[in-house]
Amino acid sequence: MEADKEMVDILSEANRAVRHGLSLGAHQVEVSIVNQSQTRIEVRKSHVVGGDILEITGAGVRVYIGRSLGVASTSRLAELEKTVENAYHLGKGAPEDPYFNGLPGPSKYRLVEGLYDKELEALSFEDLNSKLLECVRAASPKPEFTVSGGIGKSVGESIVVNSLGVEALERATAISGYIGSKMERDGDTAMGSEPIMGRTIKEFDPVAVGCKAAEKAAARIGAKKVVSDKMAVILDFRSTWSSLTSIVGVGANGLNVALGTSYFQDKIGQSVASSMLTMVDNPFTPGGMGSGGFDDEGAASKYLRVLEKGVLKSFVTDSYSAGRLGIPNNGHARKYSLSAKPMPAFSNVHIAPGDWKADELLRDTKKGILVEDTAVGPSGASTSISSMVDFGFYVEDGEIKHPVKNTMVGTTVFDLLANIDAVTKELLVLWGSSSPTVRVANVRIAGGL
Protein backbone atom coordinates (compact mmCIF):
# COMPACT_ATOMS: atom_id res chain seq x y z
CA MET A 1 0.00 0.00 0.00
CA GLU A 2 1.11 3.58 -0.48
CA ALA A 3 2.29 5.13 2.80
CA ASP A 4 1.31 8.68 3.75
CA LYS A 5 3.90 11.25 4.89
CA GLU A 6 3.54 10.34 8.58
CA MET A 7 4.26 6.70 7.82
CA VAL A 8 7.20 7.60 5.60
CA ASP A 9 8.61 9.58 8.51
CA ILE A 10 8.07 6.70 10.95
CA LEU A 11 9.72 4.25 8.54
CA SER A 12 12.66 6.62 8.27
CA GLU A 13 12.94 6.79 12.07
CA ALA A 14 12.80 3.00 12.31
CA ASN A 15 15.56 2.55 9.76
CA ARG A 16 17.67 5.17 11.51
CA ALA A 17 17.23 3.30 14.80
CA VAL A 18 18.27 0.03 13.15
CA ARG A 19 21.43 1.65 11.79
CA HIS A 20 22.13 3.10 15.23
CA GLY A 21 21.97 -0.38 16.75
CA LEU A 22 24.47 -1.69 14.20
CA SER A 23 26.79 1.23 14.91
CA LEU A 24 26.82 0.24 18.59
CA GLY A 25 28.11 -3.21 17.67
CA ALA A 26 24.91 -5.22 17.37
CA HIS A 27 24.86 -7.96 14.77
CA GLN A 28 21.12 -7.90 14.06
CA VAL A 29 18.44 -5.35 14.98
CA GLU A 30 14.65 -5.37 14.63
CA VAL A 31 12.24 -2.51 15.25
CA SER A 32 8.46 -3.14 15.40
CA ILE A 33 6.11 -0.16 15.57
CA VAL A 34 2.39 0.12 16.23
CA ASN A 35 0.65 3.41 15.43
CA GLN A 36 -3.02 3.16 16.26
CA SER A 37 -6.12 5.17 17.16
CA GLN A 38 -8.69 3.42 19.36
CA THR A 39 -12.25 4.28 20.37
CA ARG A 40 -13.86 2.28 23.19
CA ILE A 41 -17.31 2.40 24.81
CA GLU A 42 -18.45 0.23 27.74
CA VAL A 43 -21.93 -0.87 28.87
CA ARG A 44 -22.92 -2.15 32.32
CA LYS A 45 -26.43 -2.89 33.57
CA SER A 46 -27.84 -1.76 30.22
CA HIS A 47 -26.30 1.71 30.46
CA VAL A 48 -23.26 3.26 28.85
CA VAL A 49 -20.76 3.87 31.64
CA GLY A 50 -17.74 5.22 29.84
CA GLY A 51 -15.82 5.79 26.66
CA ASP A 52 -12.27 6.52 25.56
CA ILE A 53 -10.50 7.82 22.50
CA LEU A 54 -6.85 6.81 22.65
CA GLU A 55 -3.83 7.35 20.47
CA ILE A 56 -1.51 4.38 20.95
CA THR A 57 1.99 4.51 19.54
CA GLY A 58 4.83 2.30 20.61
CA ALA A 59 7.87 0.37 19.49
CA GLY A 60 9.46 -2.92 20.42
CA VAL A 61 13.16 -3.50 19.76
CA ARG A 62 15.13 -6.74 19.53
CA VAL A 63 18.92 -6.51 19.41
CA TYR A 64 21.15 -9.52 18.91
CA ILE A 65 24.82 -9.45 19.84
CA GLY A 66 26.00 -12.70 18.40
CA ARG A 67 23.38 -15.07 19.78
CA SER A 68 22.57 -13.00 22.85
CA LEU A 69 19.27 -11.13 22.84
CA GLY A 70 18.25 -7.82 24.36
CA VAL A 71 14.62 -6.66 24.24
CA ALA A 72 13.25 -3.22 25.10
CA SER A 73 10.15 -1.17 24.30
CA THR A 74 8.91 2.40 24.42
CA SER A 75 5.69 4.35 24.01
CA ARG A 76 7.59 7.36 22.68
CA LEU A 77 8.97 7.17 19.17
CA ALA A 78 11.16 10.17 19.95
CA GLU A 79 13.08 7.83 22.25
CA LEU A 80 13.51 5.07 19.67
CA GLU A 81 17.29 5.29 19.43
CA LYS A 82 17.57 5.32 23.23
CA THR A 83 15.38 2.20 23.32
CA VAL A 84 17.77 0.51 20.88
CA GLU A 85 20.63 1.40 23.21
CA ASN A 86 18.73 -0.09 26.15
CA ALA A 87 18.16 -3.32 24.25
CA TYR A 88 21.82 -3.39 23.23
CA HIS A 89 23.03 -3.07 26.83
CA LEU A 90 20.59 -5.76 27.96
CA GLY A 91 21.85 -8.04 25.19
CA LYS A 92 25.46 -7.59 26.31
CA GLY A 93 24.60 -9.21 29.62
CA ALA A 94 22.31 -11.93 28.28
CA PRO A 95 23.30 -15.59 27.83
CA GLU A 96 23.82 -16.95 24.33
CA ASP A 97 21.05 -18.95 22.71
CA PRO A 98 22.76 -21.70 20.68
CA TYR A 99 19.55 -22.27 18.68
CA PHE A 100 19.22 -18.73 17.29
CA ASN A 101 19.83 -18.75 13.53
CA GLY A 102 18.95 -15.18 12.58
CA LEU A 103 16.06 -12.83 11.96
CA PRO A 104 13.99 -13.17 8.76
CA GLY A 105 15.34 -11.61 5.61
CA PRO A 106 13.39 -9.55 3.08
CA SER A 107 10.72 -11.18 0.94
CA LYS A 108 7.89 -10.21 -1.37
CA TYR A 109 4.64 -9.54 0.46
CA ARG A 110 1.25 -10.46 -0.89
CA LEU A 111 -1.45 -7.76 -0.75
CA VAL A 112 -4.45 -8.87 1.29
CA GLU A 113 -7.80 -7.32 0.43
CA GLY A 114 -10.34 -6.06 2.93
CA LEU A 115 -8.11 -5.13 5.87
CA TYR A 116 -8.92 -1.43 5.76
CA ASP A 117 -12.36 0.22 5.66
CA LYS A 118 -12.49 3.97 5.07
CA GLU A 119 -16.09 4.09 6.31
CA LEU A 120 -15.14 2.51 9.63
CA GLU A 121 -12.23 4.90 10.08
CA ALA A 122 -14.60 7.85 9.51
CA LEU A 123 -17.22 6.54 11.98
CA SER A 124 -17.61 9.13 14.75
CA PHE A 125 -17.76 8.44 18.48
CA GLU A 126 -21.41 9.52 18.43
CA ASP A 127 -22.31 7.10 15.64
CA LEU A 128 -20.45 4.22 17.29
CA ASN A 129 -22.30 4.92 20.53
CA SER A 130 -25.64 5.01 18.67
CA LYS A 131 -24.94 1.59 17.15
CA LEU A 132 -24.01 0.19 20.55
CA LEU A 133 -27.23 1.52 22.13
CA GLU A 134 -29.22 -0.04 19.29
CA CYS A 135 -27.51 -3.32 20.11
CA VAL A 136 -28.28 -2.95 23.84
CA ARG A 137 -31.97 -2.35 23.13
CA ALA A 138 -32.15 -5.47 20.99
CA ALA A 139 -30.41 -7.51 23.71
CA SER A 140 -32.97 -6.47 26.36
CA PRO A 141 -36.41 -7.07 24.83
CA LYS A 142 -38.07 -7.34 28.28
CA PRO A 143 -37.41 -5.90 31.77
CA GLU A 144 -36.05 -9.28 32.92
CA PHE A 145 -32.96 -8.76 30.72
CA THR A 146 -29.90 -6.71 31.62
CA VAL A 147 -27.01 -6.07 29.27
CA SER A 148 -23.26 -5.67 29.64
CA GLY A 149 -20.42 -5.49 27.16
CA GLY A 150 -18.72 -2.96 24.99
CA ILE A 151 -17.50 -2.03 21.56
CA GLY A 152 -14.38 -0.54 20.09
CA LYS A 153 -12.90 0.45 16.80
CA SER A 154 -9.24 0.70 15.89
CA VAL A 155 -7.41 2.24 12.95
CA GLY A 156 -3.70 2.08 12.49
CA GLU A 157 -0.52 0.73 11.03
CA SER A 158 1.94 -1.99 11.92
CA ILE A 159 5.55 -1.61 10.80
CA VAL A 160 8.50 -4.00 10.96
CA VAL A 161 12.04 -3.04 9.96
CA ASN A 162 15.21 -5.04 10.52
CA SER A 163 18.90 -4.93 9.69
CA LEU A 164 18.61 -7.71 7.09
CA GLY A 165 16.50 -5.54 4.81
CA VAL A 166 12.95 -6.22 6.01
CA GLU A 167 10.69 -3.19 5.62
CA ALA A 168 7.01 -4.06 6.02
CA LEU A 169 3.99 -1.79 6.48
CA GLU A 170 0.29 -2.60 6.70
CA ARG A 171 -2.75 -0.43 7.51
CA ALA A 172 -5.89 -1.96 8.97
CA THR A 173 -9.18 -1.20 10.68
CA ALA A 174 -11.15 -3.35 13.10
CA ILE A 175 -14.35 -3.29 15.10
CA SER A 176 -14.54 -5.55 18.12
CA GLY A 177 -16.39 -6.19 21.35
CA TYR A 178 -19.27 -8.25 22.71
CA ILE A 179 -22.79 -8.00 24.05
CA GLY A 180 -23.82 -10.07 27.05
CA SER A 181 -27.50 -10.46 27.87
CA LYS A 182 -28.51 -11.75 31.33
CA MET A 183 -32.02 -13.05 31.89
CA GLU A 184 -33.52 -13.52 35.35
CA ARG A 185 -36.79 -15.39 35.84
CA ASP A 186 -38.25 -17.04 38.96
CA GLY A 187 -34.91 -17.09 40.74
CA ASP A 188 -33.11 -18.58 37.74
CA THR A 189 -30.39 -16.74 35.81
CA ALA A 190 -28.92 -17.40 32.37
CA MET A 191 -26.42 -15.64 30.17
CA GLY A 192 -26.14 -15.23 26.43
CA SER A 193 -23.20 -13.55 24.75
CA GLU A 194 -22.54 -12.59 21.16
CA PRO A 195 -19.22 -11.29 19.86
CA ILE A 196 -18.70 -8.24 17.67
CA MET A 197 -15.80 -8.61 15.28
CA GLY A 198 -14.82 -7.47 11.81
CA ARG A 199 -12.69 -5.26 9.59
CA THR A 200 -15.58 -3.18 8.21
CA ILE A 201 -18.58 -1.41 9.69
CA LYS A 202 -20.89 -3.41 7.42
CA GLU A 203 -19.98 -6.57 9.35
CA PHE A 204 -21.67 -5.20 12.49
CA ASP A 205 -25.45 -5.60 12.54
CA PRO A 206 -26.44 -4.18 15.96
CA VAL A 207 -29.97 -5.60 16.02
CA ALA A 208 -28.86 -9.09 14.94
CA VAL A 209 -26.09 -9.20 17.56
CA GLY A 210 -28.34 -8.00 20.36
CA CYS A 211 -31.23 -10.30 19.45
CA LYS A 212 -28.91 -13.31 19.27
CA ALA A 213 -27.50 -12.63 22.73
CA ALA A 214 -31.04 -12.35 24.18
CA GLU A 215 -32.18 -15.53 22.39
CA LYS A 216 -29.26 -17.46 23.86
CA ALA A 217 -30.00 -16.22 27.37
CA ALA A 218 -33.68 -17.14 27.10
CA ALA A 219 -32.87 -20.61 25.76
CA ARG A 220 -30.53 -21.31 28.68
CA ILE A 221 -33.07 -20.64 31.44
CA GLY A 222 -34.00 -23.79 33.35
CA ALA A 223 -30.66 -25.60 33.27
CA LYS A 224 -30.55 -29.05 34.91
CA LYS A 225 -27.95 -31.56 35.93
CA VAL A 226 -27.55 -34.72 33.88
CA VAL A 227 -26.61 -38.28 34.84
CA SER A 228 -22.89 -38.96 34.46
CA ASP A 229 -22.27 -41.33 31.58
CA LYS A 230 -20.44 -41.82 28.30
CA MET A 231 -22.23 -40.11 25.43
CA ALA A 232 -21.73 -38.02 22.30
CA VAL A 233 -20.62 -34.42 22.42
CA ILE A 234 -21.80 -32.10 19.65
CA LEU A 235 -19.62 -29.02 19.28
CA ASP A 236 -21.50 -26.18 17.60
CA PHE A 237 -19.76 -24.05 14.95
CA ARG A 238 -17.95 -21.75 17.38
CA SER A 239 -17.14 -24.52 19.86
CA THR A 240 -15.65 -26.57 17.05
CA TRP A 241 -13.53 -23.67 15.86
CA SER A 242 -12.29 -22.63 19.32
CA SER A 243 -11.69 -26.21 20.48
CA LEU A 244 -9.83 -27.47 17.42
CA THR A 245 -7.89 -24.25 16.96
CA SER A 246 -6.68 -24.57 20.54
CA ILE A 247 -5.97 -28.31 20.50
CA VAL A 248 -4.23 -28.43 17.12
CA GLY A 249 -2.65 -25.02 17.68
CA VAL A 250 -0.84 -26.26 20.81
CA GLY A 251 0.18 -29.57 19.27
CA ALA A 252 1.38 -28.10 15.96
CA ASN A 253 3.09 -25.09 17.54
CA GLY A 254 6.66 -25.14 16.25
CA LEU A 255 8.09 -23.76 19.48
CA ASN A 256 6.42 -26.49 21.55
CA VAL A 257 7.81 -29.04 19.10
CA ALA A 258 11.30 -27.53 19.33
CA LEU A 259 11.13 -27.58 23.15
CA GLY A 260 9.91 -31.19 23.18
CA THR A 261 6.60 -30.37 24.86
CA SER A 262 4.23 -30.99 21.93
CA TYR A 263 1.88 -33.96 21.88
CA PHE A 264 2.34 -33.94 18.07
CA GLN A 265 6.09 -34.45 18.39
CA ASP A 266 7.45 -36.49 15.45
CA LYS A 267 3.95 -36.94 14.00
CA ILE A 268 4.27 -35.12 10.65
CA GLY A 269 2.80 -37.40 8.02
CA GLN A 270 0.93 -39.47 10.60
CA SER A 271 -2.77 -39.67 11.39
CA VAL A 272 -3.58 -37.69 14.54
CA ALA A 273 -7.33 -37.21 14.03
CA SER A 274 -10.43 -38.58 12.33
CA SER A 275 -10.20 -38.79 8.55
CA MET A 276 -13.22 -36.46 8.51
CA LEU A 277 -11.04 -33.60 9.76
CA THR A 278 -9.22 -31.26 7.36
CA MET A 279 -7.84 -27.92 8.54
CA VAL A 280 -5.89 -25.13 6.83
CA ASP A 281 -4.60 -21.76 7.93
CA ASN A 282 -5.02 -18.94 5.41
CA PRO A 283 -3.50 -15.55 6.28
CA PHE A 284 -4.68 -14.22 2.90
CA THR A 285 -8.41 -14.54 3.62
CA PRO A 286 -9.94 -11.21 2.51
CA GLY A 287 -10.98 -9.19 5.53
CA GLY A 288 -9.83 -11.84 8.00
CA MET A 289 -9.07 -10.73 11.54
CA GLY A 290 -5.81 -12.68 11.40
CA SER A 291 -4.99 -11.78 7.81
CA GLY A 292 -1.86 -10.00 6.69
CA GLY A 293 0.85 -10.11 4.09
CA PHE A 294 3.53 -10.49 6.75
CA ASP A 295 3.82 -11.70 10.33
CA ASP A 296 5.02 -9.81 13.40
CA GLU A 297 8.66 -10.36 12.40
CA GLY A 298 8.15 -9.06 8.88
CA ALA A 299 8.39 -12.55 7.35
CA ALA A 300 6.06 -13.18 4.41
CA SER A 301 2.88 -15.00 5.47
CA LYS A 302 2.24 -18.43 3.98
CA TYR A 303 -0.86 -20.54 3.38
CA LEU A 304 -0.59 -23.64 5.53
CA ARG A 305 -2.08 -27.11 5.25
CA VAL A 306 -2.30 -28.29 8.85
CA LEU A 307 -4.46 -31.42 8.78
CA GLU A 308 -5.55 -33.32 5.70
CA LYS A 309 -8.09 -36.08 6.34
CA GLY A 310 -6.69 -36.41 9.83
CA VAL A 311 -3.02 -36.51 8.81
CA LEU A 312 -0.71 -33.87 10.29
CA LYS A 313 0.92 -31.96 7.44
CA SER A 314 2.66 -28.94 8.99
CA PHE A 315 3.97 -27.31 12.12
CA VAL A 316 3.23 -23.61 12.64
CA THR A 317 6.48 -21.66 12.81
CA ASP A 318 8.15 -18.34 13.35
CA SER A 319 11.79 -17.72 12.42
CA TYR A 320 13.20 -19.05 15.69
CA SER A 321 11.24 -22.31 15.85
CA ALA A 322 11.78 -22.95 12.14
CA GLY A 323 15.52 -22.43 12.53
CA ARG A 324 15.66 -24.64 15.57
CA LEU A 325 13.73 -27.41 13.81
CA GLY A 326 15.65 -27.00 10.54
CA ILE A 327 12.47 -26.47 8.51
CA PRO A 328 11.21 -23.51 6.40
CA ASN A 329 9.64 -20.61 8.25
CA ASN A 330 5.95 -20.30 7.29
CA GLY A 331 5.54 -16.74 8.60
CA HIS A 332 3.19 -17.21 11.56
CA ALA A 333 5.00 -15.18 14.25
CA ARG A 334 2.79 -13.28 16.69
CA LYS A 335 3.81 -10.82 19.42
CA TYR A 336 1.36 -10.39 22.26
CA SER A 337 3.04 -7.19 23.41
CA LEU A 338 5.74 -4.92 22.03
CA SER A 339 8.25 -6.23 24.58
CA ALA A 340 7.41 -9.90 24.03
CA LYS A 341 9.35 -12.38 21.96
CA PRO A 342 7.34 -13.62 18.96
CA MET A 343 5.74 -17.04 19.07
CA PRO A 344 4.09 -19.19 16.39
CA ALA A 345 0.31 -18.87 16.16
CA PHE A 346 -2.54 -19.46 13.71
CA SER A 347 -3.97 -16.59 11.66
CA ASN A 348 -7.31 -17.67 10.08
CA VAL A 349 -8.28 -21.31 10.61
CA HIS A 350 -10.62 -22.96 8.11
CA ILE A 351 -12.07 -26.37 8.98
CA ALA A 352 -13.46 -28.20 5.95
CA PRO A 353 -17.15 -29.18 5.75
CA GLY A 354 -18.32 -32.78 5.91
CA ASP A 355 -21.25 -34.82 4.60
CA TRP A 356 -23.86 -34.39 7.33
CA LYS A 357 -26.70 -31.90 7.45
CA ALA A 358 -26.93 -30.24 10.86
CA ASP A 359 -30.48 -31.39 11.53
CA GLU A 360 -29.59 -34.96 10.48
CA LEU A 361 -26.64 -34.98 12.87
CA LEU A 362 -28.87 -33.93 15.75
CA ARG A 363 -31.60 -36.47 14.89
CA ASP A 364 -28.97 -39.23 14.70
CA THR A 365 -27.73 -38.55 18.25
CA LYS A 366 -29.27 -40.96 20.80
CA LYS A 367 -27.75 -39.33 23.86
CA GLY A 368 -25.39 -36.41 24.07
CA ILE A 369 -24.45 -32.89 25.08
CA LEU A 370 -24.70 -30.04 22.57
CA VAL A 371 -21.99 -27.55 23.48
CA GLU A 372 -22.41 -23.88 22.55
CA ASP A 373 -19.79 -21.12 22.57
CA THR A 374 -17.40 -23.18 24.71
CA ALA A 375 -13.84 -24.26 23.98
CA VAL A 376 -13.14 -27.85 24.97
CA GLY A 377 -9.44 -28.49 25.34
CA PRO A 378 -6.45 -29.32 27.53
CA SER A 379 -4.59 -27.09 29.91
CA GLY A 380 -1.21 -26.18 28.44
CA ALA A 381 0.60 -29.03 26.70
CA SER A 382 -1.24 -31.76 28.65
CA THR A 383 -3.18 -34.34 26.64
CA SER A 384 -5.90 -34.61 29.31
CA ILE A 385 -9.12 -32.67 28.80
CA SER A 386 -11.39 -31.72 31.70
CA SER A 387 -13.55 -28.82 30.50
CA MET A 388 -16.65 -27.32 32.05
CA VAL A 389 -19.54 -26.87 29.66
CA ASP A 390 -20.35 -23.21 30.17
CA PHE A 391 -23.31 -23.33 27.79
CA GLY A 392 -24.86 -26.58 26.62
CA PHE A 393 -27.97 -28.70 26.18
CA TYR A 394 -28.86 -32.32 26.87
CA VAL A 395 -29.87 -34.26 23.75
CA GLU A 396 -31.85 -37.50 23.82
CA ASP A 397 -33.29 -39.46 20.90
CA GLY A 398 -32.41 -36.69 18.49
CA GLU A 399 -34.11 -33.88 20.43
CA ILE A 400 -32.79 -31.06 22.60
CA LYS A 401 -34.35 -31.63 26.03
CA HIS A 402 -33.01 -28.88 28.31
CA PRO A 403 -29.98 -26.73 29.08
CA VAL A 404 -27.38 -28.26 31.39
CA LYS A 405 -25.42 -27.08 34.42
CA ASN A 406 -22.52 -28.44 36.47
CA THR A 407 -21.48 -30.52 33.47
CA MET A 408 -17.92 -31.44 32.59
CA VAL A 409 -16.36 -33.11 29.55
CA GLY A 410 -13.56 -35.58 30.28
CA THR A 411 -11.43 -37.07 27.51
CA THR A 412 -7.98 -36.77 25.93
CA VAL A 413 -6.67 -34.81 22.97
CA PHE A 414 -6.19 -37.94 20.87
CA ASP A 415 -9.53 -39.52 21.79
CA LEU A 416 -11.42 -36.33 20.98
CA LEU A 417 -9.72 -35.95 17.61
CA ALA A 418 -10.01 -39.65 16.70
CA ASN A 419 -13.66 -40.01 17.77
CA ILE A 420 -15.09 -37.28 15.54
CA ASP A 421 -17.76 -39.27 13.69
CA ALA A 422 -19.83 -36.55 12.00
CA VAL A 423 -19.03 -33.20 10.40
CA THR A 424 -21.71 -30.90 8.96
CA LYS A 425 -21.95 -29.54 5.44
CA GLU A 426 -22.99 -26.18 6.86
CA LEU A 427 -20.22 -23.80 7.85
CA LEU A 428 -20.16 -20.70 10.01
CA VAL A 429 -17.99 -18.19 8.15
CA LEU A 430 -16.90 -15.49 10.53
CA TRP A 431 -13.98 -13.07 11.00
CA GLY A 432 -11.98 -14.69 8.18
CA SER A 433 -12.31 -18.23 9.53
CA SER A 434 -14.82 -21.01 8.90
CA SER A 435 -16.03 -24.01 10.85
CA PRO A 436 -18.64 -26.77 10.76
CA THR A 437 -20.40 -28.44 13.66
CA VAL A 438 -18.82 -31.75 14.66
CA ARG A 439 -19.87 -34.69 16.81
CA VAL A 440 -17.48 -36.61 19.04
CA ALA A 441 -18.49 -40.13 20.07
CA ASN A 442 -18.04 -41.88 23.41
CA VAL A 443 -17.04 -38.98 25.67
CA ARG A 444 -17.07 -39.15 29.48
CA ILE A 445 -19.58 -36.68 30.93
CA ALA A 446 -19.66 -35.77 34.59
CA GLY A 447 -23.14 -34.36 35.13
CA GLY A 448 -23.56 -34.15 38.89
CA LEU A 449 -26.10 -37.01 39.11
SS3 content of the chain, % helix, strand, coil (to 5): 25, 40, 35
Residue 206 has what pLDDT? 97
Residue 92: Cβ-neighbour burial (10 angstroms; 0-12, 13-18, 19+): middle
Residue 1 has what pLDDT? 44
List 37's β-bridge partners, or say none: 55, 155
Which of 38, 29, 25, 36 has the alpha carbon at shortest distance from 80? 29
Please, are residues 262 and 252 in contact by the beta-carbon 8 Å criterion?
Answer: yes
Residue 4 has what pLDDT? 73
Q: Give SS3 for 65.
A: strand
CATH superfamily assigned to domain 5-218: PmbA/TldD superfamily (3.30.2290.10)
- CA 124/CA 132 separation, integer angstroms: 12
CB atoms within 10 A of CB 244: 26
Residue intervals of the chain classified under CATH 3.30.2290.10 are 5-218
Residue 449 has what pLDDT? 76
Specify the pTM.
0.94
Q: Block means of pLDDT (10 residues each) for the chain, length 449 residues?
A: 70 95 98 96 95 94 97 95 97 96 94 96 96 97 96 96 96 96 94 96 96 97 96 97 96 96 96 98 97 97 98 98 96 93 96 97 97 89 91 97 96 97 96 97 91
Residue 3 has what pLDDT? 53
- CA 63/CA 23 separation, integer angstroms: 12
Distances (CA, A) of 340 to 293, 350, 394: 21, 27, 43
- CA 396/CA 368 separation, integer angstroms: 7
